[in-house]
Amino acid sequence: MAIEIRKTNCHYCGYLCAFDATVEDGSVTELTPDPTRYPYDASTSKRCRRWKLNLSKLYDEDVRVNYPMRRVGERGSGKFERVSWDTALDEISAKLKQLVDEYGPWTLASAIGGPHAVYWPLHRFMNLLGSPNNMGIGPICWNPRIWMDTMTYGWSIEVNFDPSLTGCLILWGTNPAESDNSLFWRTISQYVKGGGNLIVVDTRLSVTAAHATVWLHPYPGTDTVLAYALARVIIDNGWIDEEFVRDWCSGFEEFSAAAHERSLEEASEITHIAVDDIVEAARLFATNPPAGLLSGRGVDQIGPNTAPLHRVLASLRAITGNVDVPGACRLNTAPSFLSELELEGSDRLSGESRAHGLNEPDCGLQSWAGWERACKLTGKLDRYLPARYLTSALPVRVWKAAVTDEPYRISAIICDGANPLVTYADTKLVLEAFKRMDLVVVLEYLMSPTAQMADYVLPAAGAIERPAFQAMGGVEDFCYGGPRAVEPPFERKEDYEILRALALRMGQSEEDWPAKDLTEELARTIAPTGMSWENFKISGIAGGSPQFYKHLITNPETGEPQGFATTSGKIELGNSFLESLGAGYVPGWFPVPGVHDDSVLEEEGCVTLITGARKQPYWASSYFEVPSFRKAHPKPTVEMSAATAARLGLEEGDACLISRKDTPDIEILQYVTISDIVDGVASAEYGWWYPEEEKGLPGLSGCFTSNVNLLTRGTVDMTPEPLIGTWIYNGIPCRIRRKD
């Protein structure tokens, strides 16, 4: 019997923990956490309930998709037949060629997600085909922070939390205790136990917020008011870094004036936070340098106030001198390995195709025109943002184009590890769009609700059967990962191999797809760093050494500090470039009637709903089929305060039905949990479907029972906030009633 120990990585969340795999005669028999490779913490892996799926799912013959499958009967029948890879790819390419000939390459849309997908191969396929309609949830996840930090500082930043240095840490709209459960969260927990100052901004008392020195709980969507209130306190008390503001910030006077537009008492009334708590949080952050501030998905989903909030948060770092400082944050540098921009081949997308993007011409930064203008600024320091994330089509525009044929027909979609029927806004509209399409191809682990609506379901290789690689979205000189332990069993394939095979059938060149598999392509990716793939497998990490105070680096041509890649060369608290796109020189706050006030609470049975909560051990819409997970957390929960529950006539554990105030005929089922959360606000759990229920329409495995996205809408109003086009997931007027 041949026994071998091989390096590999988990894929059952985005953290990609390192493991040693015991391989006997070509099969994995055991996994052991490996503390010698990034992220260097075996105890985190041991506490995690997901990583054991690496073994149970690897050879799963019942739940996993193991062979190419072709639809039998009408779309949504839930019935499929096994076909060969050649048959599936030949038929898909033939149909796609027909649709491209009839409608143009922009007729194809794509959606990508999950920790088991590699983003840039699908982006490359789309670029070479000529379609600008890569679709994603970037506008309400990651993009806002990257865009606004880049426009403020000239590039993105990363929090540089160091317990030995950091005097205060703010976590704004993020709950790493539940969503991450990583070494990062463990370090924060130990930091607080050691007397560190932690401020958590979250409408509900999350597990993370329960550890906070100060918990700030803004009413949904009022975060910008809170951020400006903190700025006012800092300015009024003389806690700014005067030298840094004088030398390296532009627009301070205008920013200060905006911070003083409302009193602290007015801010308190709007946000539902006591003035004393606002003052104390400002004091802790401003008087304990270096101070870090990290925001999360919770504030990427507040519609027209998303971009303004991120601008104010960026300014809070700047006025306190906490930019590119050890223990506060680090201004990232461009990758020394092949960047996502190079790998996705965005330079190959023609001007005609870019002009057909569904975000053109009214989506500000979140468009090809916006990206091109932004790159003229960042290019001052030879930095160029990844394109496909930051130009991704707003999903609602893709779905409506599929349903209405306006402005042209979207007739086909490729979903790689994405489950839009559960994870995208407005489930009913998504379903209608899928019904109207001529070709739906899904690369997946299992028969998700989205896969059940496909014409072809292609078996994607997953954890430990394909290499892992995390490149931080292409905005940082840091990557990590490792090799696969074994070849994919059954007939599964890496998504890179699947898309390459389809690309060649579509007439794309082997020169554009030089690597035959993902391992070969990743070796090519890290080669510019001088590291071989063999060495990367051992270390699990590559990239440059962190540097700070980079704005002070001398420009050899001028002899002056290089500054920041912005219009002024300084940090832009007031931004003339964003003003030219229709935004304010300094950010404003845009209250939405019925969302950012208490009027909805005056009506019987009504609350304001927030929707993004995740619960361990699930990951987005994944792993609901795992019996032990369902036993640990069997039902979707909607959290509310005791006072709110009493007003609604509900008690702990009650089954309840939730509907939008404006569409009471659509209701979802969740179960009441009493928790510490702002009165009048309820938090519905995200991602639920029921894999044990019957596949196919009408139910799609319980997709329409508890799925909170039946209540969300992807509608975008670009008028008040013309930069990104985010939609409201947090702050929805709803009714809740007991299910009899």
The CATH number assigned to the domain with range 157-331 reads 3.40.228.10
> Tens digit of pLDDT for each residue in 670-695?
999 999 999 999 999 999 999 999 99
Give SS3 for 225: helix
420 upstream amide cis, omega within 30 of 0 = no
Residues 50, 44: Cα–Cα separation, whole Å: 11
Residue 651 neighbours by CB distance under 10 Å: 12
Correct CATH for 599-738 of 3.40.109.10, 3.40.50.300, 1.10.3720.10, 2.40.40.20: 2.40.40.20
> Tens digit of pLDDT for each residue in 299-312?
999 999 999 999 99
Q: Where in the chain is the domain with CATH 2.40.40.20?
A: 599-738
What confidence score (pLDDT) does residue 39 get? 83
Which of 451, 445, 359 has the alpha carbon at shortest distance from 407? Answer: 359
* 676: amino acid identity, one letter: D
Please give the structure tokens belonging to residue 147: 């865009």
Q: Where in the chain is the domain with CATH 3.40.50.740?
A: 69-142+335-543
CB 271 within 8 A of CB 218: yes
What confidence score (pLDDT) does residue 180 get? 67
Q: 544 phi and psi, to 5 degrees? A: -85, 170
What confidence score (pLDDT) does residue 228 get? 98
> CB under 8 Å, gap of 24 or more: what pairs does 246-250 form?
248/318, 248/323, 248/551, 248/563, 248/564, 248/570, 248/571, 249/318, 249/319, 249/570, 249/571, 249/572, 249/573, 250/568, 250/570, 250/571, 250/572, 250/573, 250/574
What confidence score (pLDDT) does residue 333 get? 93
Q: Where in the chain is the domain with CATH 3.40.228.10?
A: 157-331
Residues 726, 21: Cα–Cα separation, whole Å: 42
What confidence score (pLDDT) does residue 181 get? 61
Sign of CA dihedral 459, 465, 467, 468: positive
Please give the structure tokens belonging to residue 456: 């072809």
Residue 558 neighbours by CB distance under 10 Å: 8
The residue assigned the tokens 């912005």 is 566
Tell how many helices (H) and how many strands (E) occur in the chain: 26, 27
Which of 332, 329, 333 has the alpha carbon at shortest distance from 161? Answer: 329
Give SS3 for 21: strand
What confidence score (pLDDT) does residue 182 get? 74
What confidence score (pLDDT) does residue 592 get? 83
Residues 69, 67: Cα–Cα separation, whole Å: 6
Cβ neighbors of 351 (< 8 A, separation 6 or more) are: none
Residues of the chain with pLDDT under 70: 1, 180-181
What confidence score (pLDDT) does residue 23 get? 97
Q: Strand 134-135 to strand 108-112: parallel, antiparallel, or no bridges (unpaired)?
A: parallel
pTM of the model: 0.96
* 358: amino acid identity, one letter: L
| Residues 183-221: b if buried by 16+ CB within 10 A, e if exposed | bbbbebbebbeeebbbbbbbbbbbebbebbbbbbbbbbb
Helices 119-129 and 495-505 meet at what angle, rounded to 10? 10
Q: 518 phi and psi, to 5 degrees? A: -70, -35
Terminal C-alpha separation, the chain:
61
Asked if the 69-142+335-543 domain carries CATH number 3.40.50.740, the reply is yes
Sheet (strand 291-295) strand order:
214-216, 197-201, 168-172, 291-295
What confidence score (pLDDT) does residue 131 get? 98
CB 458 within 8 A of CB 414: no
